[in-house]
């Protein structure tokens, strides 16, 4: 017994801050009540009562009976109506309401308090018998289904039966007699199903309804929703008991929903629709077409004026755009609910910007009012609404990289390049992609794959280069004849196809797109964000185009330039392959000598694109076998250019094959075995830097070279000395004054564990959290797709550790590394360049552990800018309730 | 200037404890001098002087000139001889001597102090002109080569020239004139080579010689030796200057080496050999055959008696068997060196045991006197000495698993089984082995592979099951006709071949073996070790045979039973495959139902073999694709038994293929996806335990089930609940009282980082340090072979982290996990079951962090017992100097 616990609160006792206890709905109506708004009276039974009920279902009556009866008595006094009193009956709704919105997931009972006696009196008094009997049959139906678990179809069949008898199509066409008939049948059905009479005692109805709503917290769809949204199972729901008001009581009644501003474009002014003589479900069902809210102004100017004032007051009060439900009962306005309204990304920026101008929000508030993940959708073209309405969908996959694109189908990287060179727009369609497809991906407007998840090669690269991508299209099948099918649809090379990377949909033919519209409000809010954030934001970019785009999107430099991506261009891959299969150091050096000027040009273009912004270049990282030819023709060609036999090439390939390439001969291990590669790359970077500095003496050109996959201080020192020696050679022979800094990726657990030692020698750390996550979990990103779903299904993993940084394991290593690194080297520059660098949740962690910068894929840069500002300000974007 | 530093010590000023400063040799002669033994007088220049010289070669003269001259003056006074005085010349040796023995790696100069005047006087006075000139020409030769860097061949050619002129074969046949002739030529050659005269001033000779010995610290063979033996490059060498005594001065002179006990079998009593009228190098060169030390007893009983007393005194003093060098000069005995003698493993146990009986050592001393790694060699058969002398070696590979075996060549696992079933002994010869070869490996006497290192599959499995293995035999080539060649030697199926897994040698034909001889001393010392150690020692064993053998070798239980090894037997692999390719849960369950009784019998045999000792059973760990058929025949057979098409089977195989299987769908992830496998295995263990307990009520049968590859508490809890529910079912329906404990492997970094959470639910931890090392370093053991050698060559890695636990990274994770685990669960049982569990260095770490037990491969059990005792006692086995 918790005699001291208050389980029931009148609306007048609560407020918006009591969300945990009263649920979103209960707190909302309490707050509106406090503000003096016209809210139907009521009280709320707390989430704590629900938790107590879940622990001990038999004890609840003793705990809440008296408080509920007391609250009911107060409610009766306040409304002047009495539950079950035919003369002046109080009818109530019994609604669920959790701390966070779980729309439609739990149950509600309306019109509670009705029995035959009350219904008859009500019909008589109101002069609306149909309404009275309709309300009664609805109540029986809901109570039977929700409280007693009677199959809904039983009642629905009755309605169909009656409509058939009466030869009508719609419920609206049933009259008062029909409703009474239905109520009688429902009562009979109830007795049949439960072996007892429908309860006529309103307090019995009330207590059973409250418990049923408690129970609905654990109905399967609610459980599933919580799992999907990381909501703890032990929160429980509050129950709000509220006087019923009826929008369908008369022609002077009505109901509607409204936003305080336009949720699509953010424009100021009421936006919404309503129906007279209707209930909420009528607005939704579409049987009658609702009217725009503006018409209410002429229909009832005084009421509209009142409503407009309430809306204004609510917006000022909540300091955000509101989404409201209201009901008009016999000309009286009642507010049923208000919450911060959902909106499009465009609207979010517009509203935030306007609210600052209106003095409602500070710039900090505005920056913190927007969910950073919204931004991505704004940066890409999208299909026009018209196109989406008329397009034929062929199938769906994962929304792997946003944007919309139409192009002609090609099935290989080479074809993508060939068609694109002819000036055609293409969509690259592959079973899955490998690094060899990168050239084709660059040439394509979009990429579609049959296999692979959100973190597959195709998805990661597409996001990185800002191409739209739909991955894992299971209906996609490849034929032997160079064509493919999606479901029944045959797709040949050259056929038009359209991808929506934001929704994962695939359309037949060529759909119209419209470009990204970045309104002035976007730029304005982002400039505030830039002022507030502590961390620097850089981009992961490997081409001059990416570099330019990332600067347009606000990157303050490149945090990760993956040099290997430059190797996949056709004119280079050949030299790289010759380097790999070289039989001695001379042959290797000869191939590297061919590559040197190419890499130098790469870096020069990058430096030019950056116009003096910094760039961190990572030495080659992937295992060399990734570069080797896979087709017999390519093998033969390599054999010819190198003067080796096909067998030699195949043997070299076989020797390089690895059991676990992720943990193999890659990263700085390549530089240890082949120092000449590291020398060539360093030389290319430094020579490029020297040339650019010579041509642009006013630019800051300070090369930063990053050594990947370090797990031991000695190997870092070894490769660092190669880099430094080479850099010194280039610099001293150039006569140009440059400083080249050398740092490392922290991406093996051991690097994190020994970061203190490494920091004594390194000038910067960059956390490679993709690999660090793989190694810390012992989980290959390429292989996890096959079983991680089982983990989500069984609730063993809440979220994808490759999308959101795992604070408990990976995060602990990062914190250890930052702390021990800074202890040894207080000015150590520390950043992150894994996929997590563009994830708001992970960016918050980066702020918490004191990183200096985050680096993320180009199109994530604005996301990171906003998220970093929110992290510095210590405020999340509010959830839209 | 370090005016306060003492750079030079008389022998009488030093002792054995000053090894760091005086080097092994300097400290040894100082200690003998202190003990009053007949040691030629001298002094030692410290390692500190060497370090100073290496830092500043030009400054050394100023630092050591005066101290050396002072020491020389003292030496002259003590000997009554004077350097360079023809009347009574002092001759000295100038020898290197590091802190640890680096035999033959650095330089020595003998007979220093000679010039023409001294030689002539010496020849006259001694009446032995040949000796005098021989000594002189040797000095010129050594000085010219070591100090001045003159090519040794110049001098050797002169000797050949003279022998040819004189028509003799051996140096011994050259007379005094020849020696004088040679000395003259050498002086001329010296002048030619260096453009200056050979220095006649003895102090000049002395200082130049000292510096040359300092320099020899950095000659290439010394550098290489240090690299191989993990000796720091900055220690430097001491230099000992000692009066020369001559074993070749007269017929009453001689020289020899002796051990205080037999180094082969450990028997007490002098053991050694000597030559009269000879120098040390004559004993080594083999021109004359040395005599056994016993004959000295009759030749010079008094001197023998003196020597015997000295030896006894040295043994008592050093409390260990001694290896000594001595010289007799004109009937006077001089001790030149003593050190703890190297010995065979058998001798080591015998000596330790005897020294306890003699009251020289305590039992603790005896236990700590033996290098645990010695033991392995004792536990396996070996080839007889006779066989090794007469055998023809075909090639060599890596000494991957010890023991010696002869058998008939087979080239497949199936053939191994077929021949062995016919009663033949076989050697399995493979390019490399896969899990499918395990049956064949069990049937073979030994395994030879063409590829793979010390940690290849073949090596690891062979060590685990105690089979001899030679891996990476590069001369081994496979033909298409089912035969192979080793170099030129053709080897057909059925041909006899012999492997020495201790040396890595491969012999033609059938060599005789002799069984392991475990003397009483072995058992005696091991029983002391068992008394002293704190940690329990268990074995990793997967078969009843291994279980029995491990108990014979002293294991106190099984710490790791890898259930998957049981699946590779032919009658089971089929059911396992059916389980894997099952199209639905029913088919899967049907296959599991077939496996259940087989696994139950496995575990029952194991429990019976253990006779009440504990056993930890690990649930299936490897990715399922390891079990699938690889050959078209096997695929066809599986298709037939399952009623699926060959394409279906191939598709299922392709779907299971992983990019990084190490980080893939394995360990507890299998149990999450297929709970029915975990249920079957748990049921098999528990049903076996129940049956065994019923049959042997007096035995302790307490099943321990271990969940592999956990990285998240929730997955551990999930699988644990499957295990517990199943166990409860079996136990409660049996009526037998049993307790089943459930624990986990800690083998992902994340498990170590979140060990506190896991410990709240787990009953034990077992560190799987193989995987933990792979993931912490980001280093695949299967792939590391191709590049780790570069790391050793470049000094970037000192030792193989898979052989010796990496304390800095992996060890830190282990310590964190133990500490946080124990904080939450003070009685948590914690052990290790990776390969490191059998490595003494790693066992010391396990003791340091407070593990409760180590578990290692069967044949490592005695190693672990001894190493654990030494770890508890806090003493290493002494290095043999």
Measured CA to CA, the distance from residue A141 to residue B374 in angstroms comes to 85
What end-to-end distance do the CA atoms of chain A give, in Å?
A: 34
Measured CA to CA, the distance from residue B731 to residue B729 in angstroms comes to 6
Supply the pLDDT for residue B568: 79
- Cross-chain Cβ contact A662/B664 below 8 Å: no
- Cross-chain Cβ contact B673/A787 below 8 Å: yes
Instruction: Assess contact for B629 and B715: CB atoms under 8 A.
Output: no
Angstrom CA distances, B27 to B5, B100, B161, B280, stand at 18, 11, 42, 21
Q: Give the residue from chain A lying closest to B714, CA to CA.
A: A796
- Cross-chain Cβ contact A783/B659 below 8 Å: yes
- Cross-chain Cβ contact A750/B783 below 8 Å: no
Mean pLDDT of B163-176: 89
To the nearest whole angstrom, how far is the Cα of B798 from the nearest Cα of chain A?
10
Measured CA to CA, the distance from residue A86 to residue A73 in angstroms comes to 17
Chain A environment of B806 (Cβ under 8 Å): 750
- Cross-chain Cβ contact B749/A749 below 8 Å: yes
Q: Give the residue from chain B lying closest to A660, CA to CA.
A: B660
- Cross-chain Cβ contact B794/A718 below 8 Å: yes
Does A87 contact chain B (CB < 8 Å)?
no
Q: What is the pTM of this model?
A: 0.81
Does A432 contact chain B (CB < 8 Å)?
no
Measured CA to CA, the distance from residue A331 to residue A335 in angstroms comes to 13
Interface residue of B580, B626, B652, B660 to substitute, partner A, most A CBs within 10 Å = B660
| Residue position matching structure tokens 């021949």 | B419
Indicate if ipTM > 0.85: no
Measured CA to CA, the distance from residue B394 to residue B406 in angstroms comes to 14
Q: Give the residue from chain B lying closest to A708, CA to CA.
A: B778
To the nearest whole angstrom, how far is the Cα of A414 from the nearest Cα of chain B?
25
User: pLDDT category, B859, cuts 50, 70, 90?
Assistant: confident
- Cross-chain Cβ contact A808/B753 below 8 Å: yes
Chain B environment of A707 (Cβ under 8 Å): none
Angstrom CA distances, A810 to A743, A871, B79, B83, B664, stand at 20, 19, 71, 71, 18
Measure CB to CB from residue A672 to each of B777, B787, B812 and give the nearest one.
Answer: B787
Does B303 contact chain A (CB < 8 Å)?
no
- Cross-chain Cβ contact A672/B797 below 8 Å: no
Element (H, E) at B719: helix B713-734
Measured CA to CA, the distance from residue A430 to residue A411 in angstroms comes to 6
DSSP for B197-209 reads PPP--HHHHHHHH
Does B268 contact chain A (CB < 8 Å)?
no
Residue A95 pairs in a beta bridge with A108, A240
Per-residue pLDDT at B435 exceeds 80: no
- Cross-chain Cβ contact B776/A711 below 8 Å: yes
- Residue numbers of A annotated as active site: 457, 833
- Cross-chain Cβ contact A783/B672 below 8 Å: no
To the nearest whole angstrom, how far is the Cα of A752 from the nearest Cα of chain B?
9
The tokens describing A655, both together, are: 């020797």
Supply the pLDDT for residue A343: 84
DSSP for B330-389 reads TTEEEEEEEEEPP--HHHHHHHHHHHHHTTSS-HHHHHHTS-THHHHHHTS-EE-HHHHH
Per-residue pLDDT at B598 exceeds 80: yes
Supply the pLDDT for residue B485: 92
Between chain A and chain B, the number of residue pairs with CB atoms below 8 A apart is 175
Mean pLDDT of B30-47: 96
Per residue in A419-454, pLDDT (tens digit) is 998 889 999 999 888 877 888 898 999 999 988 777
Q: Give the residue from chain A lying closest to B623, CA to CA.
A: A783
The tokens describing B836, both together, are: 């490191």
The tokens describing B767, both together, are: 């560190």
- Cross-chain Cβ contact B662/A659 below 8 Å: yes
Per residue in B623-643, pLDDT (tens digit) is 999 899 988 998 999 999 999
CA atoms within 13 A on the CB side of B373: 14
What ranges make up the beta strands (E) of A248-321? 254-261, 268-276, 291-292
Measured CA to CA, the distance from residue B239 to residue B95 in angstroms comes to 5
Measure CB to CB from residue B663 to each of A779, A806, A808 and give the nearest one.
Answer: A779
Measure CB to CB from residue B796 to each of A665, A715, A808 and give the nearest one.
Answer: A715
Instruction: Assess contact for B574 and B641: CB atoms under 8 A.
Output: yes
Helices (H) and strands (E) in chain A, counts: 35, 33
3-state secondary structure at position B215: helix
Give the pLDDT means over successive 10-residue stretches in chain A (881 positions): 78 93 93 95 96 88 90 95 94 94 85 95 91 94 93 91 90 91 96 94 95 92 80 92 93 92 88 88 68 92 95 94 93 92 85 96 95 81 85 89 91 91 92 83 92 76 82 86 86 94 90 77 94 97 90 94 84 89 92 94 95 96 91 91 92 90 95 96 97 96 97 97 97 94 98 97 97 97 88 88 95 98 96 94 97 95 96 76 35
CA atoms within 13 A on the CB side of B750: 25
Scanning A722-761 for CB atoms below 8 A from B yields 747-750, 753-754, 757
What end-to-end distance do the CA atoms of chain B give, in Å?
A: 34
Instruction: Assess contact for A331 and A249: CB atoms under 8 A.
Output: no
Q: Give the residue from chain B lying closest to A772, CA to CA.
A: B778
Does A125 contact chain B (CB < 8 Å)?
no
- Cross-chain Cβ contact A809/B750 below 8 Å: yes
Measure CB to CB from residue A664 to each of B667, B783, B797 and give the nearest one.
Answer: B783
Residues in chain A: 881
Interface residue of A432, A653, A660, A795 to substitute, partner B, most B CBs within 10 Å = A660
* C-alpha B188, offset from chain centre: 49
- Cross-chain Cβ contact B774/A662 below 8 Å: no
Q: Give the residue from chain B lying closest to A665, CA to CA.
A: B787
Mean pLDDT of B273-289: 76
Chain B environment of A777 (Cβ under 8 Å): 663, 711-712, 748, 750
- Cross-chain Cβ contact A783/B669 below 8 Å: no
Scanning B791-850 for CB atoms below 8 A from A yields 791, 794-797, 806, 808-810, 812-813
Per-residue pLDDT at B604 exceeds 60: yes
Instruction: Look up B833 and say whether it is catalytic.
Output: yes
Measured CA to CA, the distance from residue A607 to residue A736 in angstroms comes to 16
Per residue in B755-804, pLDDT (tens digit) is 999 999 999 999 999 999 999 999 999 889 879 989 988 889 988 999 99
User: Which member of B442, B443, B457, B625 is catalytic?
Assistant: B457
């Amino acid at each position: 017994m918790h005699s001291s616990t208050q389980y029931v609160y009148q609306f007048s006792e609560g407020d918006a801050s009591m969300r945990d206890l009263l649920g979103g709905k209960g707190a909302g109506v309490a707050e509106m009540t406090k503000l003096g708004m016209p809210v139907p009276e009521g009280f709320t039974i707390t989430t704590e009562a629900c938790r107590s009920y879940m622990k001990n279902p038999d004890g609840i009556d003793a705990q809440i009976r008296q408080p509920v009866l007391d609250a009911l008595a107060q409610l009766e006094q306040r409304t002047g109506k009495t539950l079950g009193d035919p003369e002046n009956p109080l009818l109530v709704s019994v609604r669920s309401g959790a701390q966070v919105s779980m729309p439609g997931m739990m149950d509600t009972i309306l019109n509670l308090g009705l029995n035959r006696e009350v219904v008859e009196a009500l019909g008589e008094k109101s002069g609306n018998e149909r309404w009275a009997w309709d309300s009664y049959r609805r109540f029986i139906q809901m109570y039977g289904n929700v409280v007693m678990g009677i199959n809904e179809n039983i009642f629905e069949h009755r309605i169909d039966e009656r409509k058939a008898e009466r030869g009508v199509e719609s419920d609206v066409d049933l009259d008062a007699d029909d409703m009474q008939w239905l109520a009688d049948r429902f009562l009979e059905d109830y007795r049949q199903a439960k072996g007892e009479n429908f309860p006529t005692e309103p307090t019995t109805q009330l207590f059973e309804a409250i418990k049923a709503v408690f129970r609905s917290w654990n109905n399967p769809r609610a459980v599933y929703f919580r799992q999907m949204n990381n909501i703890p199972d032990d929160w429980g729901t509050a129950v709000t008991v509220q006087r019923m008001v009826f929008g369908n009581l008369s022609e002077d009644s009505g109901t509607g929903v409204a936003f305080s501003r336009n949720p699509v474009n953010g424009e100021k002014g009421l936006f919404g629709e309503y129906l007279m003589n209707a209930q909420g479900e009528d607005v939704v069902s579409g049987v009658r077409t609702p009217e725009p809210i503006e018409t209410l102004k002429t229909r009832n100017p005084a009421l509209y004026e009142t409503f407009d004032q309430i809306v204004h007051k609510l917006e000022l009060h909540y300091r955000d755009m509101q989404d409201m439900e209201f009901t008009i009962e016999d000309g009286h306005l009642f507010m049923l609910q208000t919450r911060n309204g959902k909106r499009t990304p465009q609207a979010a920026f517009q509203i935030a910007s306007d609210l600052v101008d209106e003095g409602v929000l500070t710039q900090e508030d505005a920056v913190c009012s927007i969910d950073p993940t919204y931004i991505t959708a704004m940066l890409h073209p999208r299909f026009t609404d018209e196109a989406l309405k008329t397009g034929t969908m062929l199938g769906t996959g994962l929304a792997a990289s946003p944007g919309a694109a139409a192009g002609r189908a090609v099935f290989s990287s080479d074809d993508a390049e060939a068609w694109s060179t002819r000036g055609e727009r293409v969509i690259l369609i592959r079973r899955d992609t490998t690094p060899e497809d990168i050239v084709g991906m660059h040439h394509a407007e979009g990429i579609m794959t049959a296999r692979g998840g959100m973190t597959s090669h195709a998805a990661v690269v597409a996001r990185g280069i800002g191409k739209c991508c739909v991955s894992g299209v299971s209906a996609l099948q490849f034929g032997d004849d160079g064509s493919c099918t999606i479901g029944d649809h045959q797709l040949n090379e050259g056929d038009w196809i359209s991808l929506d990377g934001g929704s994962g949909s695939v359309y037949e033919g060529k759909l119209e797109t419209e470009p990204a519209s970045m309104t002035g409000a976007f730029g304005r809010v982002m400039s505030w964000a830039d002022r507030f954030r502590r961390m620097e934001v850089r981009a992961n970019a490997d081409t001059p185009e990416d570099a330019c785009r990332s600067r347009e999107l606000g990157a303050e430099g490149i945090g990760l330039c993956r040099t290997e991506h430059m190797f996949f261009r056709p004119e280079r891959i050949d030299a790289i392959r010759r380097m790999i299969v070289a039989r001695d150091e001379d042959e290797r050096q000869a191939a590297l000598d061919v590559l040197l000027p190419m890499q130098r040009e790469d870096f020069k273009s990058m430096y030019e694109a950056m116009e003096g912004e910094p760039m961190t270049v990572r030495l080659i990282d992937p295992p060399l076998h990734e570069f080797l030819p896979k087709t017999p023709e390519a093998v033969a060609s390599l054999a010819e250019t190198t003067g080796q036999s096909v067998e030699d090439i195949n043997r070299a390939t076989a020797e390089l094959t690895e059991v676990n390439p992720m943990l193999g001969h890659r990263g700085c291990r390549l530089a240890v075995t082949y120092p000449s590669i590291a020398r060539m790359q360093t030389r290319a970077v430094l020579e490029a830097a020297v040339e650019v500095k010579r041509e642009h003496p006013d630019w800051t050109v300070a090369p930063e070279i990053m050594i990947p996959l370090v797990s031991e201080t000695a190997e870092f020192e070894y490769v660092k000395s190669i880099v430094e020696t080479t850099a010194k050679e280039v610099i001293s022979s150039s006569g140009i004054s440059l400083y080249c800094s050398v740092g490392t990726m922290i991406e093996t657990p051991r690097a994190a564990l020994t970061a203190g030692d490494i920091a004594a020698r390194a000038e910067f750390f960059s956390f490679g959290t993709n690999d660090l996550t793989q190694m810390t979990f012992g989980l290959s990103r390429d292989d996890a797709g096959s079983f991680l779903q089982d983990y989500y299904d069984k609730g063993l993993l809440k979220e994808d550790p490759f999308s959101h940084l795992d604070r408990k394991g990976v995060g602990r290593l990062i914190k250890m590394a930052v702390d021990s690194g800074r202890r040894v080297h207080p000015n150590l520059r520390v950043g992150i360049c894994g996929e997590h660098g563009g994830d708001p949740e992970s960016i918050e962690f980066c702020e918490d552990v004191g990183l200096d910068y985050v680096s993320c894929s180009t199109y994530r840069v604005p996301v990171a800018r906003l998220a970093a500002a929110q992290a510095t300000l210590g405020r999340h974007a509010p959830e839209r309730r």
